[in-house]
Amino acid sequence: MKKQEVMTLVDKGEMLPLMEEFYTIQGEGFHKGTAAYFIRVGGCDVGCHWCDVKESWNAETHPPTAISQIAENAAKYSDTIVITGGEPLTWNMGPLTRLLKEKNLKTHIETSGAYELTGDWDWICLSPKKNKLPFGRVYDEADELKVIVYNKHDLIFAEEQAALTNANCILYLQPEWSVRDKVTPMIVDYVMKNPKWKVSLQTHKYLNIP
């Protein structure tokens, strides 16, 4: 296939830059402890300085892959598919989620909300980032808000973001992994004083699994 044809298919969401895919345990947030198949899509320009998947940022380093192949593979492993990145909403998620739904698979997304919400989702985890804020209906549609806490100022940001979400959205504060020893006690204290929040830990990292 010619490069231009591939780019057209990527633009339509019929092909996606696939970084990696793996069957594991969802380590974070509401579904922690639950087996799920993860599809990591390349491409992100949000630029979080503490990002632990910087290899995902440049979409051109990840092979454009037909969504039929992605969906077929995913269906072999799990009935719950988590699309993560990178920032999956860099791309049109409509075609992939349609295919996954046709296979009766549950579709979950982990997104910063920095781009327009596309796709048909059973679960939306919104993890907003200060340098490129979410916008539009993702605040109304989010099932969980997961704010990564790197320092105490992030607690103010968390409250600002929580005020924008819908009433049913479950609120999580999660320590950024590299500073977890420092910020976890602060988060625990904050959640006890503000019990609308819950603590989320990256349990997969404690378990040493992907």
Q: Which of 46, 71, 93, 201 touches ligand SF4 (CB under 6 A)?
A: 46
List C-alpha distances in Å: 161 to 8, 90, 204, 206.
Answer: 35, 21, 26, 28
| Residue range at the interface with ligand SF4 (CB under 6 A); choices 23-31, 48-56, 168-176, 197-205 | 48-56
CB of 53 to ligand SF4, least distance (A): 5
Could you say whether residue 44 binds ligand SF4 (CB under 6 A)? yes
DSSP secondary structure string for all residues of the chain: --HHHHHHHHHHTSEEEEEEEEEEEE-SSTTTTEEEEEEEE-------TT-S-GGGS-GGGS-EEEHHHHHHHHHTT-SEEEEESS-GGGS--HHHHHHHHHTT-EEEEEE---S---S--SEEEE--BTTB---TTHHHH-SEEEEEESSTHHHHHHHHHHTTS-TT-EEEEEE-GGGHHHHHHHHHHHHHHSTTEEE---HHHHHT--
The count of residues interacting with ligand SF4 (CB under 6 A) is: 12
Binding of residue 51 to ligand SF4 (CB under 6 A): yes
Choosing from 6, 9, 25, 53, the residue that interacts with ligand SF4 (CB under 6 A) is 53
Closest distance of CB 195 from ligand SF4, Å: 27
Q: Which of 147, 137, 100 is nearest to 122 (CA)?
A: 100
Instruction: Confirm or reject binding of residue 86 to ligand SF4 (CB under 6 A).
Output: yes
Binding ligand SF4 (rule: CB under 6 A), the pick from 26, 56, 107, 200 is 56
CB of 192 to ligand SF4, least distance (A): 27
User: Are the beta carbons of 139 and 164 closer than 8 angstroms?
Assistant: yes
Using CB under 6 A, which residues numbered 124 to 163 contact ligand SF4?
Answer: 129
Token code pair at residue 87: 């920032």
Contact flag: residue 113 with ligand SF4 (CB under 6 A): no
Minimum CB distance to ligand SF4 smaller for 105 or for 112: 112
Cβ 148 to ligand SF4, closest distance in Å? 7
32 or 132: CB nearest ligand SF4: 132
- Taking the complex as a whole, the smallest distance from the CB of residue 90 to ligand SF4 amounts, in Å, to 9
Residues of this chain that interact with ligand SF4 (CB under 6 A) are 44, 46-48, 51, 53, 56, 85-87, 112, 129
